[in-house]
Structure 1
């Protein structure tokens, strides 16, 4: 039995059905013959014939120690390798994506023999340096076969490379020649550079049996984080049909070595991979993408929560490949070539947009907490100190104050009540900043209308607890209103809040402007209730001063004197109105490319006052 067997195909150029098994069973060898398999250094040629029943069988029609491929038959069928040469090729090549050399049965390589083409120089070098004459003979015969059966492809490849990587071109049919498994494949998708490691490349055809290639499918791999471990994900890339020749570097995906800026790309993507690595686990970050998604908001990175909550249809983690746990020593041994193929996006939740999304690593930044924001809150000092103390000590209280039932009564509930624009929402926002925690904000509109409000609210509070986030349930009137016999639906919402708060272990702020209608059972769950009165003149004065300083690059402008502050604070408007006025004045000044002036603020206030007059007249009429 030969070490190398060439099987002729039928007229369509494909291996006949069942022929591989027939090759394996040829001659029904004895034990002695089986043990000698692969030792004869010969090339056997097989041809498909039909028996009397019309069934196709493979018949050996010749054997030779030199490669002379038939001129009138297609040799593009299959190459069958047996024991000795398989063992050597496994040592030289390892396992190829489409071919395994470490199996006991003969290995069949469909033509064109891509793995032998790409590794022919390594095979030649191994042959020249081998001390085993039997192995040298086998490899020389194999090289003869490769160089004769793929002579056109070899010449095509060498002539193309002579022009240099920038001018190297290919046609569609020979595209595979430039894609060697293990190569780094480069893509630029809407300005984002991606590199993956090539596994295999296959042509796509219009119809079964057709020789017309419509595209090439590239299978590659990247490294991704699951929430507890790192592993390889498969990436499918399509190179569409094109006519004539095309520069390799102009393909939608191509080997990185053909890119004129390959060194720059490697350095940047290695750093991106290291950043990806540093952001693993649960992280509170800031996302700043002004160009593409236009998103600027705080985010929570949490892959596990993402997979449980998001409707995600992305690349799945291929756990059949080697993986390493988040806490393993393998993480310390990652190489630059591995960092290079890390994914470029992380899974998380947008704290303002309130949606699950994929965030580009490039635009993820460290959160810069405004730790002095709570000091700017216009509120009684006693209330400020009490809120700060309760939040700071939460989770460190003595177990003696726990509920008698484990897991109950460990949450911290604040109730903030008062008219709009007096600082209720800002209280929760600023204490989250000063305590360096994320703010998980919701309102009744985010919850009411869902089929299972209790499940939605429970999941939200569970996430907030995991993230150590402060929860803000803004405009919570529908959950707080006193129950009665007339409204069963409203009563059920109050009951939902009571049940959820019973086992909540985090910090939550509830805001309302209807304190007299609050259910007594809800009040019994509240640890601290604070009343916010209408803003007085001194409070408005402080807010005007803070906002003017902020929009003027945190420097008080020269025109901001006591007379200006007295004039502004005399206007009986709330804190939200002051913020909106300053925002409008800032936009006006920026549009005219200058600093904010007092006249901008007065102009906006006049427009606001005129609208109030017009609105009142319209309503009364």
Structure 2
């Protein structure tokens, strides 16, 4: 656009109440004055155009070169811009203060906020502003209203065409979709048509709310709707405005409850989990299943030691607070909301019920979510699976409280006084009230107990029972899982000790014989392993149980690191009788095994683990036969165990 140097301005920028129409024959040409009778370049626009409230550009229609299509509108009028500031309040990616504010056809922002624009134009009291608005309104009416009519007809029939998908997805609205099999409500950030090698598709960019252990924030994701012919039912699109969901009340109730769970779980929690979860490591991602498994919910630690979590964008708005403009329009400023006002009002009323229940409760900006924000929450919470020792993403709806085995410690078979000593030591250490320290700060702050004895006498069960008694997480692993080289052992042990100390968990290192045996000059590799192990024990701050099947060749250096050593004698008849009674009584209320039978069984010189396995197998037999557990079932298992097939 050239400027006429001899032209004398009569109006300031954008204040002339006229529209300047421009045209170009193709996208390589410059914009020139529009001549509707002869579509070709005529006279170049000059300074006069800069005074006009609007500059309207046209070009040949893509399907008919004999017709002109509206290309764009540049708003120069400061009076119009002031009204547009209210029209597009909260509309992301649009700044109405630009010197030359240009909108390109098909004018999506005006379409989405059309009823708001109409309302502001009708209510305008200043005549000059109204004159300017009328210029814009006259042009846009011909562009916007046909789209609204088509959209309303499609919605009325509960279908949608590919070309009109954009008409029902307005930026900032809540959208229902499914992600990884989960019902989701997400916040629409942007939508547009795109194309790739496979053809055209409609792209939807969303925001949802995630957590990092201390607060909440937005995370972005996207989905695509591939091109299709004709029309599709709204429910078959893969996404639709959330208020149009056929069972919206049930959807809101479920997703609000799920968001409430996420809000409560954000932080550190020791929980139970049943169902599939996603195990993640640097090498692989896989689905696993666990039933009543113990987990630690800890998104913050997951992000440090597991897989880095998503970056959270701040949540700007809080709650259902409405601006002055929203209140003025009754909250229905979006054209799709207006077209489906009954469904939208039902949706809003459901949310209002939840918000009213929260009135009077103090808001913590970083940690408290509004009703709408709860709907946007991810169904996934991050943490650690103690059962399979893996960082994982858990389904919030499968997380539940732990059902502690309250009688586990009481049922433990140990010599008189052992249980009292163990309980006292562990209880005191977990309370962390004792500030007794080493001469060197940070050393010797943990409590390490060595449990030795034959297999099956209750060493592992002791650690498990103590964790149940204290309601603390139990991190259980065998020494072989730490690695083979000194470097592997050091890295693994450092991580395990860090996690258990952070979670105030009880650590059980099973079968530690390779670390406990005395060092020799003949095996330098194992000596390095033992040295690393000793060094890490020195600075451990938590409760650790070490188990060993033999203690004959004990390295003297461990004596100063271990606070209590408990040797488990072989089970005598009385101990075995107690174990038989315990396992027979667990889950077998109608058992036909008598006290006389138990006395006979106690004479078998087998360990506690073997007794448990025999009862478990006997129960399977009784269930298959649909009869109560009896002595016959146990004897049959014992015969098979001894290889007696007579």
TM-score, with structure 1 as normaliser = 0.84
Q: Over residues 422-468 of structure 1, what are the superposed CA-to-partner deviations in whole Å (9 max), with x where a residue is unaligned? A: 11111111101111100011212321146532122111111111101
Shift of 1:568: 2.1
Please identify, of 499-508 and 392-401, the stretch whose mean Cα deviation from structure 2 is larger.
Answer: 392-401
Paired residue for 2:307, among 297, 304, 311?
311
Matched, 1:40 2:16: yes
* RMSD, aligned CA: 3.2
Residue in 1 that maps onto 2:642? 609
Distance 2:259 2:416 in 1: 47
Pair 44,566 (structure 1): closer, same or farther in 2 beyond 3 Å? farther
C-alpha separation between the residues in 1 aligned to 2:172 and 2:87? Answer: 14
Structure 2 CA distance for aligned equivalents of residues 371 and 283 of structure 1 = 19
Matched, 1:445 2:431: no
Q: CA deviation at 1:342?
A: 1.1
Q: Structure 2 vs 1, CA of residues 106 and 393 (structure 1 numbering), >3 Å: closer, same or farther?
A: same
Give the secondary-structure state (helix, strand or coil) at the position aligned to 1:406: coil
Deviation at 1:108, TM superposition (A): 3.0
Q: Does 1:146 align with 2:140?
A: yes
The equivalences for 1:588-603 within 5 A come to 588-592=621-625, 595-603=628-636
Alpha-carbon distance in 2 for matches of 1:228, 1:332: 7
Aligned CA distance change for structure 1 residues 448 and 582 (closer, same or farther; 3 Å): same
The aligned counterpart of 2:331 is none
Residues 428, 434 of structure 2: 8 Å contact kept: no
> Match for 2:267 among 281, 285, 300?
281
Q: What is aligned with 2:454?
A: 419
How far, CA to CA, are the matches of 1:535 and 1:191 in structure 2? 52
Aligned ranges for residues 325-364 of structure 1 at < 5 Å? 329-330=364-365, 334-364=369-399
Give matches, 1:217-616, under 5 Å.
217-289=203-275, 293-296=288-291, 297-312=293-308, 315-319=310-314, 329-330=364-365, 334-394=369-429, 401-449=436-484, 451-552=487-588, 555=589, 557-592=590-625, 595-610=628-643
TM superposition shift of 1:93: 2.4
Structure 2 gaps of 5+ residues are: 36-48, 278-286, 320-361
**Selected match of 2:86 from 91, 101, 123:** 91
Q: Do the aligned residues in 2 keep the contact of 1:411 with 1:506 (CA within 8 Å)?
A: yes
2:354 aligned partner: none
Q: Is the 8 A contact 2:206 2:220 kept in 1?
A: yes
Q: Distance in 1 between matches of 2:175 and 2:103?
A: 24
**Alpha-carbon contact 2:216-2:315 (below 8 Å) kept:** no
Deviation at 1:200, TM superposition (A): 0.9
Residue 197 of structure 1 aligns with which residue? 187
**Whole-Å separation in 2 of the counterparts to 1:415 and 1:440:** 16
Say if 2:130 is the partner of 1:132: no
8 Å contact from structure 1 (residues 249, 258) kept in 2: no
Specify the SS of the correspondent of 2:31.
Answer: strand
1:608 offset after TM fit, Å?
A: 1.6
Report the 3-state secondary structure (helix = DSSP H, G, I; strand = E; otherwise coil) of the residue aligned with 1:452. helix
Pair 1:182 & 2:172 matched: yes
SS of the aligned residue for 1:231 comes to strand
What is the distance in 2 between the residues matched to 1:29 and 1:437? 84
Question: 1:396-447 CA deviation, whole Å, 9 max, x = no partner?
Answer: 6786741011111101000011111111111111101111100011212321
Cα offsets for 1:179-200 (capped at 9, x unmatched): 1222211123454211111111
The one of 106, 110, 118 aligned to 2:104: 110
C-alpha separation between the residues in 1 aligned to 2:19 and 2:484?
A: 75
Aligned CA distance change for structure 1 residues 144 and 609 (closer, same or farther; 3 Å): farther
Q: 2: distance between equivalents of 1:495 and 1:60?
A: 87
Deviations 1:444-497 (Å, cap 9, x if unpaired)? 232114653212211111111110100011111222221111111111111111
Q: Which residue of 1 aligns with 2:45?
A: none
State whether residues 551 and 586 of structure 1, in contact with CA within 8 Å, keep that contact through their aligned partners in structure 2.
no
Structure 1 residues 515 and 134: alpha-carbon distance in aligned structure 2, compared to 1, 3 A threshold: farther
What is the rounded CA distance, in whole Å, between the counterparts of 1:242 and 1:295 in structure 2? Answer: 41
The structure-2 alpha-carbon separation of the partners of 1:588 and 1:468, relative to structure 1 and needing over 3 Å to count, comes to same
- Secondary structure (helix, strand or coil) at the match of 2:376 reads coil
Distance 2:561 2:501 in 1: 18
* Count of residue pairs the alignment pairs up: 570
Q: SS in structure 1 opposite 2:141?
A: helix
- Kindly indicate whether the alpha-carbon contact (under 8 Å) linking 2:475 and 2:508 is maintained by their aligned counterparts in 1: yes
Q: Which moved more, 1:240-249 or 1:169-178?
A: 240-249
Measure the CA separation in 2 of the matches of 1:156 and 1:357: 47
Identify if the C-alpha distance between structure 1 residues 400 and 138 changes in structure 2 by more than 3 Å, giving closer, same or farther. Answer: closer
Structure 1 distance, partners of 2:433, 2:253, is: 52
After TM superposition, give the deviation of residue 236 of structure 1 in Å. Answer: 1.2
Which residue of structure 1 aligns with residue 345 of structure 2?
none
Contact 1:69-1:149 within 8 A present in 2 as well:
no
Deviations 1:80-133 (A, max 9, x none): 3344333322212214234333x4443333332222111111211222222223
Is the 8 Å Cα contact of residues 591 and 629 (structure 2) preserved in structure 1? no
Relative to structure 1, the CA distance from residue 568 to residue 449 in structure 2 (aligned partners, 3 Å threshold; closer, same or farther) is same
The structure-2 alpha-carbon separation of the partners of 1:197 and 1:419, relative to structure 1 and needing over 3 Å to count, comes to: same
Distance 1:73 1:443 in 2: 80
| Cα contact 1:186–1:255 (8 A) shared by 2 | yes
* Shift of residue 44, structure 1, vs aligned partner: 3.1
* CA displacement, residues 218-275 of structure 1 (integer Å, 9 cap, x when unaligned): 1111111112221111121222333321112211222112211011101111111111
Q: 1:560: Cα distance to partner? A: 2.9
- Is this contact kept in 1: 2:16–2:53, CA < 8 A? no
Judged with a 3 Å threshold, the aligned counterparts in structure 2 of structure 1 residues 130 and 413 are, in CA distance, closer, same or farther, namely: same
Over 3 Å counting, the alpha-carbon distance change for 1:590 and 1:90 in structure 2 is farther
Moved more, 285-294 or 193-202: 285-294
The aligned runs of 1:2-17 (5 Å cut-off) are: none
In structure 2, what is the Cα distance between the partners aligned to 1:35 and 1:361?
Answer: 63
